[in-house]
A and B are shown apart, each in its own frame.
Chain A
Amino acid sequence: MRGSFFGLNVSVSGLFSAQKNLDIINHNITNATTPGYSRQVGYQTAAAAIPMYDGTGMYGTGSVVNSVNRIRDDFLDYKYWSEAQSSGEWSAKNDLLAEVEATFNEPSLEGTSGSGFTAVFNDFYSSLQELSKSPADLGLRDIVKQRGVTVANYFNSTAAHFEKLQEDVNYRIKTKVLEVNSIATQVKDLNRQIYTAEVDGTVANDLRDHRTLLVDKLSKIVNIQANEVVVGQLPNGRDNVHFTITIGGKNLVDHFSSSEVQVTQRTTKLNANEDVANLYDISWKDTGAAVKVTSGELRGYLDVRDGNEGDNGSPNMKGIPYYVKKINEFVQKFAMSFNDGYVNGVDVGAGHADGYALNGTTVSGLKFFTMLGADGKPESSTTFIGGATTIPAQYSKLTAKNFSVSSEILSDSRNISASGSASQQENAVVLDKLIDLRNNVSLFGEGSAEDFMKSLIANMGIDAQQAKTMTDNQETIVKQVENERQSVSGVSLDEELANMIKHQQVYNACARMITTMSQVYDTLINKLGV
């Protein structure tokens, strides 16, 4: 026998269900633009039916919303995390290589008056050519001196730029490491909230969205693996699920605990001749072991900061130390040949030091290029030689950063040794040989001095181009995965509004049912003349 007010109760359950559904839609609409939000749906079922033992069978009792679930495809999240790492790595490299390109300032296409290597080098050789036609002209000698200083300055400032860039990258690494720690702590806290909330079997939708968003961020920075692992069973029979994030096999976040990563200053330089001092290594705070960074922005930064083609155990990439090494090699070999006629390990006897200075003196053996001493002032030829017995030994300390015109030349341009013998002021035999060195293709493995720089700049261009292409590709892939996620989890306003109307109509209909029921009871109670 059905209860008298059964019908009213059925309608009321309909009102409640419609209201709950409208609430969920409301929540979806307001979060349509929330990053990382996944749409939620209410799982509505028919309420438990009442069996009637009078032969009519089960009586429906209305509807009920059982749970609110988010719509999410976990597989897409894993895909996103693995692609975001690669995307982060290449975009970091892309940004930094663009800075490397800017440092070289080549090709300076605005005419011949650029400030890049080619322009500086062309100017220097033009001045030597002019001097060779009139070796006694003091004005021309001063120009040679000044252009020599410009060549030295070009390398000084390039080297300084690279130092600055390396320090910048180092600082960025530190910042990123701090960010990793901050995200790890947040994820750890969220783990506790989610775990507590879900103990009774509900799903902590919005908290999970928040956590996924944090892992998204983390995956751009470093190679992470994020997983929910079942570690046993809870007393209530549910799986005991822990959320973990690992970097290179070690846990960064494990359920309620997180490990910290830290940066420590290196005591010895990785690239002894190229690096600035005190660069950071990334290690685990608890064990002190190095963090295995294999991709993400951090890998990109490390590669560019340390990359020296695999020398000294550095990353196998042409990073900042590689370019520093190359320009150091350039100034050493160039100065060796220009000063001492030392080409490819052989003294060809056509260097500046083989010539004689102007002004009837018998001054000889002067070097045109030396380096800045410890006091920051250009060294004289004698100081530069020091106690070194072989020519390569003299140049072992010369770098692009300390490259300079010698103090003798700076103090008196008459010391430019153009002449092949003493007291012959128009003798330009040595100067002619210096000019010929420009086209000497045995100077470098790559050919002449300009071939060397050309090849360096072309290689840099190719690397930067590759980074650009890879960044574009990776961004497209990440965007594709993100679109797939949006397709599954994103809020479609049209869909929500259509559902809104649907539930509104159900609500209206239920309300109408109540009116009808009310009239039925009115008839029953008031109209029956009992």
Chain B
Amino acid sequence: MRITNAMMVNNMISNISKNQTRMDKLQNQMATGKKIEVPSDDPVVAARALKLRTDVAEITQYQKNVDDATSWVDITESALSNIGDVLHRARELAVKSANGTMSTEDQQATASEVKQLREQLIQLSNSTYAGRYIFSGYQTDKPLVDEVTGNYAIPSASTEVMNYEIGVGNDINVNVLGGELFDGTGASAVAGSTPKMIQDMDKFFDDLNTNNQTAISTLIDGIQSDLDNVTRIRADIGARSNRLDLTKSRLDSDEYNFTKLMSNNEDVDQAEVIMNLTNEENVYKASLSAGAKIIQPSLVDFLR
């Protein structure tokens, strides 16, 4: 093939520009730490990057949800524990009062303690978390029980379940419904009616005042059943809390795994890029020096 000066110059320019293109790509990879810049660099990596980004964002969100659910459940648990203590005390007092050995003064003192316990129950039924009434179902802006009358202040159906999403299609119920807590399984709160637990307290108080020990004896079973109900719900809350802990640790490992996948997918191997860049740099220098040697001299330089 006949080689002309223009050909040599053209080839040199195009080769050097190819070198530069490759160096530019590697330079970008070094600077950004990413394998690709636009989808066309590698559509598969790009599509995977989008998917993994969504996955990681979802996991992060679920982690937040689990944390919030845990706080809610913890607050509920402590309220339930207090309610349990109140009922224990009430039962103790009921047992003491039922055996007929109390003096009138003791009875009066007991009565006033029962009244206090009733007040405490009402307070606890209106427990709040961040300003929201935790037992009020969907109407967390309103207290569950009227502080004066001790009646339900709002209706709250047994279906008013609050669910937090802690995974795709994986919801956890975070609230305990007032109706179930104060009236037993499946019960709904009806506005204006008195919760069974409060009724028991009222009855205890009345029986003490009328010194009706037989009634108090029967009431022990009533309070016991209240207590059983609270224990059952506490067990349930405990189980939820446990589930949240497990979910949290699973999400933590998911986050790690997916972040790692994301990194494997789109991050460059720095060592490899540095190697390649150095290599390209050498090739570039070599082609420049070869070009300089080739295109400079011609016969002109040797004619006199």
Q: Give chain A's interface residues, CB within 8 Å of chain B.
A: 32-33, 97-98, 101-102, 104, 106-107, 109, 112, 118-119, 121-122, 125-126, 129-130, 132-134, 136, 419, 421, 423-428, 432, 435-436, 439, 450, 453-455, 457-465, 467-468, 479, 482-483, 486-488, 490-494, 497-498, 501
Q: Are A102 and B169 touching (Cβ within 8 A)?
A: no
Q: Are B3 and A487 touching (Cβ within 8 A)?
A: yes
Given the complex of chains A and B, what is the CA–CA distance between A337 and B180 in angstroms?
Answer: 35
Q: Are B50 and A118 touching (Cβ within 8 A)?
A: yes
**Given contacts A112-B57, A479-B14, are A425 and B141 in contact (CB under 8 A)?**
yes
Closest partner residue, chain B, to A34 (CB atom): B6
B151-177: CB near A (< 8 Å → 1, else 0) gives: 000000000101111001101000000
Q: Are B162 and A98 touching (Cβ within 8 A)?
A: no
Interface residue B289 (Cβ < 8 Å from any Cβ of A): no
**Given contacts A461-B43, A490-B4, are A425 and B140 in contact (CB under 8 A)?**
yes
Interface residues on B, range: 35 or more
Please indicate the chain A residues that have their CB under 8 angstroms from the CB of B44 in the complex.
458
Other A-B contacts than A98-B40, A432-B163, 8 sampled, CB-CB below 8 A, are A107-B53, A109-B34, A109-B49, A427-B138, A427-B160, A436-B169, A453-B50, A487-B4
Q: Are A132 and B165 touching (Cβ within 8 A)?
A: yes
**Given contacts A133-B164, A424-B160, A487-B4, are A122 and B39 in contact (CB under 8 A)?**
no
Our pick among B6, B10, B139, B300 for the contact of A491 (Cβ within 8 Å) is: B6
Which one of B60-68, B235-243, B248-256 contacts A? B60-68
Please indicate the chain A residues that have their CB under 8 angstroms from the CB of B61 in the complex.
125-126, 129
**Given contacts A457-B47, A465-B40, are A493 and B300 in contact (CB under 8 A)?**
yes
Q: Are B165 and A109 touching (Cβ within 8 A)?
A: no
Interface residue B232 (Cβ < 8 Å from any Cβ of A): no
Q: Are A112 and B53 touching (Cβ within 8 A)?
A: yes
Chain B residues numbered 4-18 whose CB sits less than 8 Å from any CB in chain A: 4-7, 10-11, 14
Chain B residues numbered 93-148 whose CB sits less than 8 Å from any CB in chain A: 130, 132, 136-141
Given the complex of chains A and B, what is the CA–CA distance between A287 and B14 in angstroms?
Answer: 44
Given the complex of chains A and B, what is the CA–CA distance between A129 and B10 in angstroms?
Answer: 60
**Given contacts A479-B10, A487-B7, are A439 and B49 in contact (CB under 8 A)?**
no
Our pick among A130, A439, A460, A487 for the contact of B168 (Cβ within 8 Å) is: A439
Given the complex of chains A and B, what is the CA–CA distance between A72 and B132 in angstroms?
Answer: 90
Please indicate the chain B residues that have their CB under 8 angstroms from the CB of A457 in the complex.
39, 46-47, 50
Our pick among A423, A450, A453, A483 for the contact of B11 (Cβ within 8 Å) is: A483
Q: Are B64 and A486 touching (Cβ within 8 A)?
A: no
Please indicate the chain A residues that have their CB under 8 angstroms from the CB of B169 in the complex.
436, 439
Given the complex of chains A and B, what is the CA–CA distance between A109 and B141 in angstroms?
Answer: 42
**Given contacts A109-B266, A428-B162, are A492 and B4 in contact (CB under 8 A)?**
yes
Q: Are A461 and B40 touching (Cβ within 8 A)?
A: yes
Given the complex of chains A and B, what is the CA–CA distance between A126 and B64 in angstroms?
Answer: 10
Please indicate the chain A residues that have their CB under 8 angstroms from the CB of B47 in the complex.
454-455, 457-458, 461
**Given contacts A107-B53, A491-B5, are A458 and B10 in contact (CB under 8 A)?**
no
Q: Are A492 and B5 touching (Cβ within 8 A)?
A: yes
Chain B residues numbered 47-76 whose CB sits less than 8 Å from any CB in chain A: 47, 49-51, 53-54, 56-58, 61, 64-65, 68-69
Given the complex of chains A and B, what is the CA–CA distance between A454 and B139 in angstroms?
Answer: 40
Interface residue B271 (Cβ < 8 Å from any Cβ of A): no
Q: Are A106 and B46 touching (Cβ within 8 A)?
A: yes
Q: Are B4 and A106 touching (Cβ within 8 A)?
A: no
B70-86: CB near A (< 8 Å → 1, else 0) gives: 00000000000000000
**Given contacts A106-B50, A427-B160, are A482 and B168 in contact (CB under 8 A)?**
no
What 9 pairs between A and B have smallest CB-CB spacing?
Answer: A461-B39, A490-B4, A461-B43, A464-B40, A424-B138, A458-B47, A427-B138, A122-B57, A497-B299
Closest partner residue, chain B, to A457 (CB atom): B39
Please indicate the chain B residues that have their CB under 8 angstroms from the CB of A101 in the complex.
38-40
A449 to chain B, nearest CB (A): 10
Q: Are B162 and A424 touching (Cβ within 8 A)?
A: no
Given the complex of chains A and B, what is the CA–CA distance between A122 and B60 in angstroms?
Answer: 11
Q: Are B65 and A129 touching (Cβ within 8 A)?
A: yes
11 contacts between A and B (CB under 8 A): A112-B56, A425-B138, A426-B137, A454-B47, A458-B46, A461-B39, A479-B10, A479-B14, A486-B4, A490-B4, A491-B6
Our pick among A426, A464, A468, A501 for the contact of B138 (Cβ within 8 Å) is: A426
Interface residue B210 (Cβ < 8 Å from any Cβ of A): no
Given the complex of chains A and B, what is the CA–CA distance between A461 and B54 in angstroms?
Answer: 19
Q: Are B46 and A461 touching (Cβ within 8 A)?
A: yes
A318 to chain B, nearest CB (A): 13
Given the complex of chains A and B, what is the CA–CA distance between A464 and B43 in angstroms?
Answer: 9
Please indicate the chain A residues that have their CB under 8 angstroms from the CB of B138 in the complex.
419, 421, 424-427
Please indicate the chain A residues that have their CB under 8 angstroms from the CB of B160 in the complex.
424, 427
Given the complex of chains A and B, what is the CA–CA distance between A141 and B266 in angstroms?
Answer: 35
Please indicate the chain B residues that have their CB under 8 angstroms from the CB of A427 in the complex.
138, 160
Please indicate the chain A residues that have their CB under 8 angstroms from the CB of B58 in the complex.
122, 125
Chain B residues numbered 252-289 whose CB sits less than 8 Å from any CB in chain A: 266
Closest partner residue, chain B, to A428 (CB atom): B162
Interface residue B36 (Cβ < 8 Å from any Cβ of A): yes
Given the complex of chains A and B, what is the CA–CA distance between A494 and B298 in angstroms?
Answer: 6
Interface centre among A33, A121, A483 (most CB of B within 10 A): A483
**Given contacts A426-B162, A461-B47, are A450 and B54 in contact (CB under 8 A)?**
yes
Given the complex of chains A and B, what is the CA–CA distance between A33 and B164 in angstroms?
Answer: 75
B301 to chain A, nearest CB (A): 10
Given the complex of chains A and B, what is the CA–CA distance between A212 and B44 in angstroms?
Answer: 44
Please indicate the chain A residues that have their CB under 8 angstroms from the CB of B298 in the complex.
493-494, 497
Q: Are A493 and B5 touching (Cβ within 8 A)?
A: yes
Q: Are A426 and B303 touching (Cβ within 8 A)?
A: no
Q: Are A482 and B10 touching (Cβ within 8 A)?
A: yes
Q: Are A109 and B32 touching (Cβ within 8 A)?
A: yes
Given the complex of chains A and B, what is the CA–CA distance between A67 and B69 in angstroms?
Answer: 97
Q: Are A118 and B2 touching (Cβ within 8 A)?
A: no
Given the complex of chains A and B, what is the CA–CA distance between A251 and B287 in angstroms?
Answer: 46
**Given contacts A133-B164, A453-B50, are A107 and B36 in contact (CB under 8 A)?**
yes
Given the complex of chains A and B, what is the CA–CA distance between A423 and B136 in angstroms?
Answer: 13
Q: Are B7 and A501 touching (Cβ within 8 A)?
A: no
**Given contacts A107-B50, A425-B139, A461-B40, are A490 and B132 in contact (CB under 8 A)?**
no
Given the complex of chains A and B, what is the CA–CA distance between A107 and B58 in angstroms?
Answer: 17
